[in-house]
Amino acid sequence: MKDNLILLTGKSNTRLAESISNFIGVDLGAMEVFKFANDNTFCKINVNIRRRDVYVIQSTSRPVNDNIMELLIIIDACKRASANNITAVLPYYGYARTDKKDQPRVPITAKLVADLITVAGCQRIICMDLHAEAIQGFFNIPVDHLYATPIFIDYLKELKKNRDNKKVEQSLQAISDMASLPDTPENNIMPAITDAVKCYATVGEIADTLRKVWGEYRQVSVF
């Protein structure tokens, strides 16, 4: 299986791509990505990817527009190089918050980005902690939606066991959505957090809310 696997990465998060490469034991494919003097992005894949399964690791984080364009160009290069399958690995999905027409004459940019990625030639998406579950439906290709929250839960439980309340409070700031977890006893840690976070938009407001919730529920036994 590894012989048929090619990992490529843009410039958005090379450290993450290297960590993934080391973890699965597959080297990153050689590739050039740079800008010309006129600000046009250029990509050249320096390994043979014909009939290979290609995974392109690229967050569409800041600078969002540059990283999206870079992703599209890499996907197009893979398609024209006769890759067997092209999967985009998107740890962060830019424009995810623009996922509905909530006022007159505004775009649904999350859908537009999904269309661009699909038209470029991507055949599958792996993403993480989307702003809304409905964004998966914007794609006409398979989407694997992963969640980071279970990792946070295990970490917080360990901190709670060690009675490190300060670190627990700091870690809770990173949890912005727990609503998508299965409703099981082991996942049911402080349900008030879920309801409180839904009402707030910015990271700062979420962090303030979580501090208040943690203060009120510091003694909850399910941790």
pTM of the full structure? 0.73
pLDDT at residue 131, as a whole number: 87
Query: What is the bridge-based pairing of β-strands 124-128 and 143-146?
Result: parallel
pLDDT at residue 215, as a whole number: 55
N residues, the chain: 223
Q: Which pairs count as long-range contacts for 65-69, CB under 8 Å and 24+ apart, including other chains? A: 66/41, 67/10, 67/11, 67/12, 67/94, 68/94, 68/113, 68/116, 69/41
The count of other CB atoms within 10 Å of the CB of residue 171 is: 16
pLDDT at residue 160, as a whole number: 63
User: What are the structure tokens assigned to 10, written together?
Assistant: 């843009």
Distance between CA atoms of 195 and 173, rounded to whole angstroms?
A: 15
Question: Whole-number mean pLDDT of the chain?
Answer: 80
Contact between 117 and 125 under an 8 Å Cβ cutoff? The reply is yes
pLDDT at residue 178, as a whole number: 47
CA–centroid distance for 40 within its chain: 26
Contact between 13 and 57 under an 8 Å Cβ cutoff? The reply is yes
Of 130, 118, 105, 91, nearest to 9 by C-alpha is 91
Domains of the chain: 2-146 (3.40.50.2020), 149-216 (no CATH)
Strand partners, 57: 9, 89
- In tens, the pLDDT along 155-207 reads 766 766 665 555 555 555 455 444 444 555 554 444 445 444 444 445 455 55
- In tens, the pLDDT along 16-39 reads 999 999 999 999 999 999 999 999
- In tens, the pLDDT along 121-168 reads 999 999 998 888 889 999 999 999 998 877 777 776 676 666 555 555
- 68 class by beta-carbon count within 10 Å (0-12 exposed, 13-18 middle, 19+ buried): buried
Contact between 32 and 44 under an 8 Å Cβ cutoff? The reply is yes
- In tens, the pLDDT along 43-96 reads 999 999 999 999 999 999 889 999 999 999 999 999 999 999 999 999 999 999
The continuous run of DSSP H or E covering 143 comes out as: strand 143-146
- 162 class by beta-carbon count within 10 Å (0-12 exposed, 13-18 middle, 19+ buried): exposed
pLDDT at residue 12, as a whole number: 93
Q: Which comes out higher in pLDDT, residue 77 or 208?
A: 77
User: What are the structure tokens assigned to 88, written together?
Assistant: 């985009």
Strand partners, 13: none
pLDDT at residue 192, as a whole number: 45
The count of other CB atoms within 10 Å of the CB of residue 153 is: 18
